[in-house]
Amino acid sequence: MTKHTYQYYTASKHASVNTTKTTIKDQIVSAIKPLAISSMVIGACYAFFPQELINRQILTSKTWQATTYNRIETVMAPNKVNQEQARKEANKPVLASSIIYDVYKSSQMVFLPNNQYQKVTLITMTSKKAKSIYFRYSETGNWQISGNYIEAKPTNVGDDSFDSEVIDILQQHDLIALNTKQTYRLNYKSIDSVSLNDLAFKKTEYL
Answer whether 59's CB lies under 8 Å from 110's CB.
no
Confidence at residue 26, expressed as pLDDT on a 0 to 100 scale: 65
pLDDT at 172: 86
| pLDDT reported for residue 142 | 97
The pLDDT of residue 153 is: 95
Question: Which pLDDT belongs to residue 46?
Answer: 46
Q: CA distances (Å), 82 to each of 1, 16, 87, 93, 159, in order?
A: 132, 110, 9, 9, 26
Whole-number pLDDT of residue 143: 97
Residue ranges of the chain with per-residue pLDDT less than 50: 2, 4-15, 17, 38-39, 41-43, 45-46, 80-81
Spatial separation of the C-alpha atoms in residues 71 and 172, rounded to whole Å: 13
The partner residues of 75 in beta bridges, in order of sequence, read: 98
